[in-house]
Amino acid sequence: MKTLSALHLAGRLVRHPAAHKGDAGKVLLIGGAPTMSGALVLAGQAALHCGAGWIVLMMLDTKSAHVVTSQAELMVHDAKTYAPQQAIADIAPDVIAIGPGLGVSGQAAQWLEAALLWQGPLVMDADALNLLSSNDALLSLLKTRKAPSCLTPHPGEAARFLRVTSQDVQNDRVASIAKLVDQTQAIVVLKGQHTLVASPIHATHTCQEGNAGMAVGGMGDVLTGCIAALAAQGIKHQLDLWDATCLGVQLHALAGDSLVKKDVGPIGLTPSELSSELLPLLRVLVNQHALRH
C-alpha cells in the first residue's frame, strides 16, 4: 500500500494574472435539510477557502435558504422552488457535491438522482451515501456514470454499503475499501485514522496526516467542500478528480495537524477552525511547489 503524497499537486493551482472566476470553477453543493443546514454551510465555506471561483448552495431547508449571513459570498438557493434536473442545467456547475445535511427524504433522493444523471465530476458524502446504499436504482446510476465520481464514507456509511458492521470495516479497512471500489466503480475515500483513498484504476493510498481532534461532526462536510473546490479549479489547472481527492484528503488532514501544533485542540477543535486553516496552508503549498516549475 502506498503512502499518500499529493501536496505537490497544489503547484498546479497557480493563477494567471488575467484569471477570472470562471477559471477557478463553479461548485454546486446540495444538501442542508431541516436541522442540518449548517453542514451545507460548512462545505460551502471550505470550498471558498480552497479557492473555488464561485459556490452555489442548493438548500433543502426553506427556512435556512438565503440566510447565510456569516458568509455573504455563498449563493444560496431554496431547493423546493426548483426542478432538480432543470436547476442543474441552468446553474451549469463544473463540479457537484451532494450529501452534507441532505437527509433521506423523497426530495433528497430526487436531487441525488439528478446529480447522478448529470455528466460531470461528482462528490458524494453523508446521506447521499446512505441513499445509495439503500436504493439499487440509484446505485445502478452511479455504477454506469461516464463522468468521474467520488464517495467519502466514514466506517458507518461504508458498513451500510457492505451490509456489515462498522467494526467489520475497521477490522480490515484495506479489504473494505477494495470492496467499496468494486461495488461502486468510483473513487472512494474511507475516512478515519490513516484515511484510505482508492479507485478502480488506482492502488490504495493511506494518508499519514490527521489526528483525533478531527473526530467531530462537520469535519466530513469540510472535506467535501475542499475536494469539490480543488476539482473545480482542476478543470483549468490539470487536476482530475483523483488528483483533487488525494490533494484534498491530505490538505484537510494537514490542516488538523497544523491547528494542533498551534495548541488549537485536539479537544475542542472545530470544523470551522479547520476550514479557515485550509486557506493559509494551501497558499503556502501553491507558492512553494510552483517555484519548482
pLDDT in single tens digits along all 293 residues of the chain? 899 999 999 999 998 888 888 889 999 999 999 999 999 999 999 999 999 999 999 999 988 766 666 677 888 899 999 999 999 999 999 999 999 999 999 999 999 999 999 999 999 999 999 999 999 999 999 999 999 999 999 999 999 999 999 999 999 999 999 999 999 999 999 999 999 999 999 999 999 999 999 999 999 999 999 999 999 999 999 999 999 999 999 999 999 999 999 999 899 999 999 999 999 999 999 998 876 65
Q: List the CATH number of the domain containing 127.
A: 3.40.1190.20
For residue 174, being part of any structural domain is answered with yes
Classify residue 7: in a domain, yes or no.
Answer: no
Which three cell numbers mark 239?
Answer: 487536476
Q: What are the Cα distances from residue 257, in Å, to 104, 194, 262? A: 33, 13, 9
Residue 59 corresponds to which amino acid?
M
Flag whether 34 is in a domain: yes
Q: Does residue 169 form part of some domain?
A: yes
Long-range (24+ apart) CB contacts under 8 A made by 261-268 are 265/211, 265/213, 266/211, 266/212, 266/213, 266/214, 267/213, 268/213
CB 210 within 8 A of CB 195: yes
Cβ of 163: how many Cβ atoms within 10 Å?
8
DSSP at 276: H
User: Cell match 463553479: residue?
Assistant: 26
State phi, psi for 146 to the nearest 5 degrees.
-90, -30
Q: How many domains does the chain have?
A: 1
In a domain, 12, yes or no: no
Is 110 among the domain residues?
A: yes
Of 217, 228, 236, 138, the C-alpha closest to 189 is 228
Domain limits at 120?
23-288
What is the pTM (predicted TM-score) of this model? 0.97
Is 218 among the domain residues? Answer: yes
Q: Does a structural domain hold residue 4?
A: no
